[in-house]
Amino acid sequence: MTEALFGWPPPVLDPMGPYAEPVRTVAWALSGMGALVTTLVVAALFVAWRGPPVWRARLGGQTSILVFGVALPAVVLAALLIWGLMLTAKLDRPAADGAMRVRVTGEMWWFRVQYLDPQGRVIAEDANELHIPTGQPVAIELASADVIHSFWVPHLSGKKDMIPGRTNRLTVQADRIGRYGGVCAEYCGRAHALMGMVVIAHAPDEFGRWWGARRAAAATPKPDSAGFALFTDSGCAACHTVDGTRAVGRTGPNLTNVAARQTLGGGILPNNRGTMTGWVGHSQSIKPGNRMPNYDRLEPRQLQDIVTYLETLK
Amino acid sequence: MIERVQCGSCHVIPGVDWPKGRLGPSLDGMDQQGLVAGTFPNTPQNLAAFIRNAPAVKPGTVMPAMPIDDREARDVAQYLIEESKR
Ligand SMILES: [Cu+2]
């Protein structure tokens, strides 16, 4: 998740696809304008303070106030506005028919990721992780299950709000394979700062293989084990879905392939047996306020069995 | 190292701001502690061995074998001892 915000060059200035390019241009133009205006103001201040009397008189005169205070800003700001709108209008260009479709829903405090077929039906569900092929636009529908969130993967696009009761559209494209961090960019409550995700861009044939494996995982019935019995008896199944089993809860992330994910807890932890155990046992100390209770009343053996079961889900 | 595998998801660790997991014990003061996991004398070797593969030396413990190698485990043990002295 932090990879969305840190690193050099900063991800906003390091576009990886055509839908992030204009954002960089605007960012540079604004920084440039800011620097220019600051220089002019400091220069004017200096003249007002130490400049020769003639200059000072001129600077304080009505003409300069009208020119620098009204005319110039009006013209420059209007021009900037029009130029900026023209640039960013490209970002809203919908992806062509036939482009890959996904829906990402902001939930407090994680991202539900659904892969859709051309008719818009959900074919696979995941959390905090979106896999895409490189070199082609992917149409994302942004929704929210509760409050306003904002979807932002700075390497791939600008920010766009996720608003309850509304579907916003965003197109992204990655031209290089890689792993691109994303965050929620609109304050949405207590664990907002720990709400992130990753986008993983594969070469198209590699993406095909990944998709095949993902579909196979959803289709294999999951082994009934001590861990699965505990998973249902401890209440996990009331909040979590594992495709192909009687666990069909919708409150939390779908866990059908949780062991194959790169992160846990909203893009904030690497996924290994340790972080998985720590999360299930005591998620509240890791991500305070998140909507999953601690399970520190389970026997160590039971916790281990549950985690062993979760590790088979890939 | 500690951040790559996030030992902090179960431990409060000196010098680590986040996460401050509370499933396992706090690792502050490891230099002063008598026993590792209440079981082994607290020598750097025992500490590193426990960090490398806890269930192998203490069967049944909730702390799993973490994805790190022997050298990294020794470094982490060293870090915990040094950091507790501050
Ligand atoms: Cu948020």
Q: Number of A to B CB contacts under 8 A, please give it.
A: 62
pLDDT for the residue A298: 93
Tens-place pLDDT, residues A251-293:
999 999 999 999 999 999 999 999 999 999 999 999 999 999 9
pLDDT for the residue A188: 96
A90 pLDDT exceeds 70? yes
Q: Coil, strand or helix: which one is A65? A: helix
> Which of A268, A278, A300 is nearest residue B10 as measured by Cβ atoms?
A278
> Which of B9, B20, B22 is nearest residue A274 as measured by Cβ atoms?
B9
What's the pLDDT band for B27 if we cut at 50, 70, 90?
A: very high
Q: Give domain status of residue B31, yes or no.
A: yes
Q: Give domain status of residue B1, yes or no.
A: no
pLDDT for the residue A68: 84
Q: Give domain status of residue B41, yes or no.
A: yes
Q: Which of A109, A150, A105 is nearest to A130 (CA)?
A: A105
Chain A residues whose CB is inside 8 A of the B76 CB are none
Average pLDDT over residues A27-46: 92
Tokens for A252, please give them. 């939390």
Q: Give domain status of residue B2, yes or no.
A: no
Average pLDDT over residues A79-89: 88
What domain count does chain B have?
1
Alpha carbons within 13 angstroms on the beta-carbon side of residue A251 total 9
Do A194 and A109 meet the contact criterion of CB atoms below 8 Å apart? yes
Tens-place pLDDT, residues A290-304:
999 999 999 999 999
Could you tell me whether strands A269-270 and A149-152 are parallel, antiparallel, or unpaired per DSSP bridges? unpaired
d(CA A271, CA A68): 57
Q: Give domain status of residue B75, yes or no.
A: yes
d(CA A59, CA A48): 7
The ipTM (two decimal places) reads: 0.93
d(CA A147, CA A150): 10
What's the pLDDT band for B25 if we cut at 50, 70, 90?
A: very high
d(CA B81, CA B14): 10
DSSP A278-307: HHHHHHHHHSTT-SS---TTS-HHHHHHHH
A277 touches chain B (CB under 8 A): yes
Average pLDDT over residues B40-64: 93
Average pLDDT over residues A217-225: 76
The mean of the pLDDT values for chain A is: 92
Give the least confident one: A59-63, A100-104, B69-73.
A59-63
Average pLDDT over residues A123-138: 95
Backbone angles phi, psi at A152, to 5 degrees: -145, 115
Do A123 and A116 meet the contact criterion of CB atoms below 8 Å apart? yes
A312 pLDDT exceeds 80? yes
Q: Do A270 and B6 touch (CB under 8 A)?
A: yes
CA distance B72 to chain A (A): 16
CA distance B4 to chain A (A): 7
d(CA A176, CA A158): 18
Ligand 1 mean position, distance from CA B58 (Å): 41
Q: Do A282 and B22 touch (CB under 8 A)?
A: yes
Instruction: Tell me how many degrees the CA angle A310-A279-B69 measures, rounded to the nearest 5.
Output: 80
What's the pLDDT band for A87 if we cut at 50, 70, 90?
A: confident
pLDDT for the residue A59: 84
Q: Give domain status of residue B46, yes or no.
A: yes
Q: Do B64 and A300 touch (CB under 8 A)?
A: no
pLDDT for the residue A74: 94
Farthest-apart Cα atoms in chain A, separation: 90
A94 pLDDT exceeds 80? no
Q: Beta strands of A49-177 (E only): which ranges?
A: 100-107, 110-116, 122-127, 129-133, 138-144, 149-152, 160-162, 168-172
Q: Which residues surround ligand 1, an ion (CB under 5 A)?
A: A 149, 184, 188, 192, 195
Ligand 1 mean position, distance from CA A284 (Å): 17
What's the pLDDT band for A1 if we cut at 50, 70, 90?
A: low
- Nearest residue in A to B18, CA atom: A286
Q: Which of B83, B78, B67, B82 is nearest to B6 (CA)?
A: B67
Selected residues 230-269 of chain A with any CB under 8 Å from a CB in chain B: 268-269
Selected residues 19-58 of chain B with any CB under 8 Å from a CB in chain A: 19-24
- Nearest residue in A to B23, CA atom: A282
What's the pLDDT band for A232 if we cut at 50, 70, 90?
A: very high
Residue B28: which CATH number?
A: 1.10.760.10
Quick one: what percent of chain A has pLDDT higher than 70?
A: 100
A211 pLDDT exceeds 80? yes
A219 pLDDT exceeds 90? no
